[in-house]
Amino acid sequence: MSWGTLLSITVLVILMIAYEWPKMKQYSTREKGAFIVLTLFGYVLGVLLIFFPEMPGPTQLVDAVFKPLGKMLE
């Protein structure tokens, strides 16, 4: 099941890039780079969540970083 999901996510990311990239001709190199980096970040996060579903999400990371800071400010 997880390999089928991985294949589906990969195909969707490839289709998304193939659809959006020709429309990005007028954008700068930095904007294209940001598009690629954010897309790859989402892809990697999706793949990690497929194989490690118990992995903590971004919300737990934000809580872990800012909870001590909030206690210091009280």
pTM, entire model? 0.74
Count of domains forming the chain: 1
For residue 50, pLDDT over 80 is answered with yes
Query: Which secondary-structure segment (H or E) carries 73?
Result: helix 58-73
Average pLDDT of the chain is 90
CA–CA distance, 70 with 40 (Å, rounded to integer): 32
Nearest residue to 45 (alpha-carbon basis) of 13, 15, 16, 70: 13
CA–CA distance, 16 with 9 (Å, rounded to integer): 10
For residue 74, pLDDT over 90 is answered with no
CA 70 and chain centroid, separation: 27
Query: Containing domain of residue 24, as a range?
Result: 2-73
CA–CA distance, 7 with 10 (Å, rounded to integer): 5
